[in-house]
Amino acid sequence: MGIQHSLKPFTTFAGGVACLVFSAGISAGMKSLDDSVLAGISGQSGLTMELDLGLTAGRLSYFDDGNGLHLEGFRVGSATDPTGQAFHLVRVDITEDATLNLDYLVEDRRIEFGDIRLAGAPGVSMGGVFFDHSLKGYLNIRQGGALGGSGYTFDTAYTMTGGRLGYRTNGNELFLDNITMNVEAIGVTLDLVGNTLTLDAPRIVGDWEVGAIRYSNNPLTHGVSLDSGTGQPLPSYGSLSGRYELSSRTDITAGGRAGEGLRIDSETVIHTASFLYTDDGNTLALRDIEGAYRINDLRLDVAPDWKNRPALALTLGSMDGDFRIGSIEMGANGKSVGQINVSFLLEDQVFNGRNYSNAIYLQGGGHSNAGPQGLRLATEWSLRLADFSYTEDGNRVIFSGLQSWGQGDVTVNVTRNEVNNGTEFFDGLRVGFEGIKAGYRINGLRVGSEDAPLQGGTELLLALGFYPAYEFELDGHVTLGAGGASGAGITINSDIRIRDGKAAIIAAPYDEGNGEVSQKGLWITELDYNAHVRDMTVDVTEDGLAIIKGEAWSTMDIGNLRVGDKESGQSFGRFVVKKYETGSSMTVIPGGAGDVCAGGMGSSAGECEASGGVWEARGGEGLTVRLRQVFAKAISDTRKNELVWETNRQIDGAGRAVNGTGTQLVLNDIYTSDGGDFDGDGIDDNSFGTRTDLSVDVYRTRVVKKADGADSLGVVGNRGDEKIMDASAAAGYRYVSNPVAQDAENRPLGFAVKARSQFKELSINNIDLVHPVGGAQTAVYGVKMQNFDIKANLTATPIP
């Protein structure tokens, strides 16, 4: 390792000891050695400085155009003893070629800020940050940068052990514990070009590990792994580790978006990287990551946000990049789900007639009832274009033309279980949303390649709550607590409110190639959605990724279900969907459908084809989502499963339909059951619920022509002819009346979803017809469905 190598200039161990003894006398404080002193020791065996450092400062301030950012309660000292000092040992050596070699050893050091405040925002602050570490490494500095003599070149490597990086608000803290890190960067150059400082790192190699991510709600516990009251280890979200090799170039220029400040431009290439999350010995691994990203014109200012609130402003000109995750592995056997590619461009763009840019305005305070400390990120974003693609077994599906925009406040607090001023808080890291007006949309799917035609297919993922387009106003929070269903993991409590939502169930492209058009579709509009989740655990298990909901209830009040345009399309009326689930779960499992008999029956290729089906070996990769939804019996008007369809509503002065004034069809109190009381507690058992397995693959499928003549692209064929991909044909395909075996291998690729849904018993207590004046009349006194096992194999391709 480089560290050992750099110690060689020290001639003898005895000499080193002599230096140590000498330096003990100056351990009480730092003393700078001026150049005249250092000149005399050039080419000699060096100088050793030993230092026990304890440093405190009440406030460090940074001013930008007169606006202040204050770091309060600054301290450097021992990590284990709040009043102690951190041990430093630095050996300085200047070689014949005037290279300055620094070998250093730092033990048990903590650097912390008790609080971060912005001038002009009294009473609120961002909270405290602490960073513990022991370091051993070297830094060699020599004159001459990438552009010649005026710059510098650095070689550095270090090992960090016993690291902790924590964030604390209002007595609660969250920290990365037991961080170990090795970093090596050789040939880093620093040059001044004009008024720009350029830092070029041609190769940075490292690996890192975070032993645990811990949470404490005990105000007396600070920066330690054990609870100071119980002595027990603090709960953990799991552990992380990774490796990387990258190169980067960063330009830093003076001057903010307005007046003083900083400008950063940067380009980073990730040659290889991995990221592993481990929960009780089970790992979710992202491997073979590579890609690049470029930051253009990122400005750092202390400047107010759009509501004139004091803030540390990070405003971005643009950022683009692309990434490839070569393999996503999970489960006991490390089976791969497949590969993901993402490309993105964050840049100013007009959405819905309004210009959006990319900016984060960091402020103090967090949620107003969580206490004075916390983070508020007044955020605006504009994702101009992104493509997200998923490849399994060599076949690819692209979620094409993803765009997103929004503005609003995100708050971050570390909170504990309590009710403050009427707001319920939970143990964990609380990410709050306040007045976020946002949206996203995709242009469609492309299956196979980037130049494949746009098609639908997201309709097949509705069971997973995926909408191809969504606009909303969002308030609420997601609180991520430490500890899963057992041991490490994540526990989520969440309350979300969406207002004035517009979500597409089916959506045509927003851009067919001739510019933006109104996105036609089947839309749920005037949506008011309230969703609550309690004690939902997320764990990596032997099977894959397991999400278990303790209790979840929601009301989705769809003002109109519209066909066509989301604003002006005609409406089917109002729909209200209430859900109440207990013990529901979702497990994500690597591997898709495997062998499938599409359009027939049979468990072998021969049986399948004999029944008229097509035998499809969809391969080992792919993704399966296993859903279990346990619909509980109603316990209140909001915690129940109910479906209401209302039409014939009265119209108000503004021409809007008034909810509750029409005629309603009510499917009241829908619930699942195991079909009897088998445990003898007097209540029907309800643990099976509805179970849905969705397997997603990309695979070839049979597409037949539906009418004689030319199709939408002018390719001629007869009804019943099969579509066969052929690169030599003008449109990329041709129609074949009697396909041979080779043709079958060139069938079009489709987005293949295999679904299996089963339930033991699903009941509806009653179905009522409700008249606004006459009241409710029961039409059906109970529905009971039993013993259902429905399988569907559907493959979606473009309409020829």
Partner 1 sequence: MTPTGLRRTLSLLPLLILSLPVTAELSRLGDEVLSGISGQGGIYLSGDISINEVGGPVENSYFGRCDDASKKCGARFAYRLKEDGGWMVLDEIRGNFAFEGLTLRVRNVDSGFAGDGDLFNRDVIELGLPNTVRFNDVQFKIAGSSTARPTDPGFQQTDIFSVEMQGEVMMEGNLLVFPAGNP
Q: Residues 624 to 653: which contact partner 1 by CB under 8 A?
A: 647-649
Q: Which is nearer to partner 1, 144 or 600 (CB)?
A: 600
Shortest Cβ distance from residue 242 to partner 1 (Å)? 21
Q: Out of 189, 584, 641, 795, name the contact with partner 1 by CB under 8 A.
A: 795
623 binds partner 1 (CB under 8 A): no
718 binds partner 1 (CB under 8 A): no
**What tokens appear for 772 in the block?**
């606004």
321 binds partner 1 (CB under 8 A): yes
Return the residues of window 586-615 that contact partner 1 according to CB under 8 A: 598-601, 611-613
516 and 523 Cβ atoms separated by less than 8 Å: no
Instruction: Give the 3-state secondary structure of residue 19.
Output: helix
Q: Which is nearer to partner 1, 294 or 437 (CB)?
A: 294
Window of 194-202, 352-360, 429-437, 558-566 that interacts with partner 1 by CB under 8 A = 558-566
Q: Which is nearer to partner 1, 135 or 794 (CB)?
A: 794
Q: How far apart are CA 347 and CA 742, in angstroms?
A: 46
665 binds partner 1 (CB under 8 A): no
Window of 112-120, 214-222, 479-487, 711-719 that interacts with partner 1 by CB under 8 A = 711-719
Q: Out of 720, 729, 737, 771, name the contact with partner 1 by CB under 8 A.
A: 720
Q: How far apart are CA 257 and CA 238, in angstroms?
A: 40
Shortest Cβ distance from residue 667 to partner 1 (Å)? 12
773 binds partner 1 (CB under 8 A): no
396 binds partner 1 (CB under 8 A): no
Q: Out of 123, 231, 515, 653, name the contact with partner 1 by CB under 8 A.
A: 515
Shortest Cβ distance from residue 257 to partner 1 (Å)? 24
Q: Which is nearer to partner 1, 16 or 202 (CB)?
A: 202
The number of angstroms, rounded, from the C-alpha of 220 to the middle of its chain's C-alpha atoms is 32
Q: Out of 57, 462, 464, 799, name the contact with partner 1 by CB under 8 A.
A: 799
Shortest Cβ distance from residue 426 to partner 1 (Å)? 35
Q: Out of 151, 166, 509, 717, name the contact with partner 1 by CB under 8 A.
A: 509
761 binds partner 1 (CB under 8 A): yes
Shortest Cβ distance from residue 479 to partner 1 (Å)? 35
Q: Which is nearer to partner 1, 68 or 564 (CB)?
A: 564
Shortest Cβ distance from residue 591 to partner 1 (Å)? 20
Q: Out of 435, 706, 709, 737, name the contact with partner 1 by CB under 8 A.
A: 706
Shortest Cβ distance from residue 261 to partner 1 (Å)? 26
With CA atoms as reference, report the closest residue to 770 among 649, 682, 597.
649
Q: How far apart are CA 533 and CA 493, in angstroms?
A: 5
Return the residues of window 250-269 that contact partner 1 according to CB under 8 A: 267, 269
AA identity, residue 563: V
Stretch 450-479: interaction string toward partner 1, x if CB under 8 A: xxxxxxxx-x--------------------
Q: How far apart are CA 199 and CA 203, in angstroms?
A: 12
Window of 174-182, 277-285, 571-579, 628-636 that interacts with partner 1 by CB under 8 A = 571-579
> To the nearest 10°, the Cα dihedral for 249, 252, 253, 257?
110
Q: Out of 283, 369, 571, 638, name the contact with partner 1 by CB under 8 A.
A: 571
Q: Out of 560, 585, 695, 765, name the contact with partner 1 by CB under 8 A.
A: 560
Transcribe 410-449 into DSSP letters: EEEEEE-SEEETTEEE-SEEEEEEEEEEEEEE--EEEESS
SS3 letters for 347-415?
A: ECEEECCEEECEEEEEEECCCCCCCCECEEEEEEEEEEEEEEEEEECCEEEEEEEEEEEEEEEEEEEEE
What count of Cα atoms within 13 Å lies in the side-chain half-sphere of residue 461? 19
* Residue 725: count of CB within 10 angstroms of its CB: 18
Shortest Cβ distance from residue 692 to partner 1 (Å)? 12
With CA atoms as reference, report the closest residue to 110 among 132, 128, 129, 88.
132
Q: How far apart are CA 317 and CA 384, in angstroms?
A: 12
730 binds partner 1 (CB under 8 A): no
Q: Out of 152, 317, 688, 768, name the contact with partner 1 by CB under 8 A.
A: 688
702 binds partner 1 (CB under 8 A): yes
Q: Out of 434, 511, 609, 768, name the contact with partner 1 by CB under 8 A.
A: 511
SS3 letters for 699-764?
A: EECCCECCCCEECCCCCEECCCCEEEECCCCCCCEEEECCCCHHHHCCCCEEEEEEEEEEEEEEEE
Stretch 266-295: interaction string toward partner 1, x if CB under 8 A: -x-x----------------------xxx-
With CA atoms as reference, report the closest residue to 6 among 49, 42, 46, 39.
46
790 binds partner 1 (CB under 8 A): yes
502 and 527 Cβ atoms separated by less than 8 Å: yes
Shortest Cβ distance from residue 196 to partner 1 (Å)? 18
Q: Residues, the chain, total?
A: 800
Shortest Cβ distance from residue 761 to partner 1 (Å)? 8
Cα–Cα distances in angstroms (integers) from residue 726 to residues 707, 723, 747, in the given order: 21, 9, 9
Q: Out of 4, 232, 514, 742, name the contact with partner 1 by CB under 8 A.
A: 514
619 and 592 Cβ atoms separated by less than 8 Å: yes
503 and 524 Cβ atoms separated by less than 8 Å: yes
534 and 479 Cβ atoms separated by less than 8 Å: no
716 binds partner 1 (CB under 8 A): no
DSSP 510: S
565 binds partner 1 (CB under 8 A): yes
Q: Which is nearer to partner 1, 140 or 690 (CB)?
A: 690
> What pairs with residue 107 in β-bridges?
87
Q: Which is nearer to partner 1, 116 or 694 (CB)?
A: 694
* Residue 699: count of CB within 10 angstroms of its CB: 24
Q: Out of 161, 343, 369, 530, name the contact with partner 1 by CB under 8 A.
A: 343
Q: How far apart are CA 656 and CA 560, in angstroms?
A: 10
Count of residues of this chain found to bind partner 1 when the rule CB under 8 A is applied = 104
With CA atoms as reference, report the closest residue to 240 among 201, 213, 267.
213
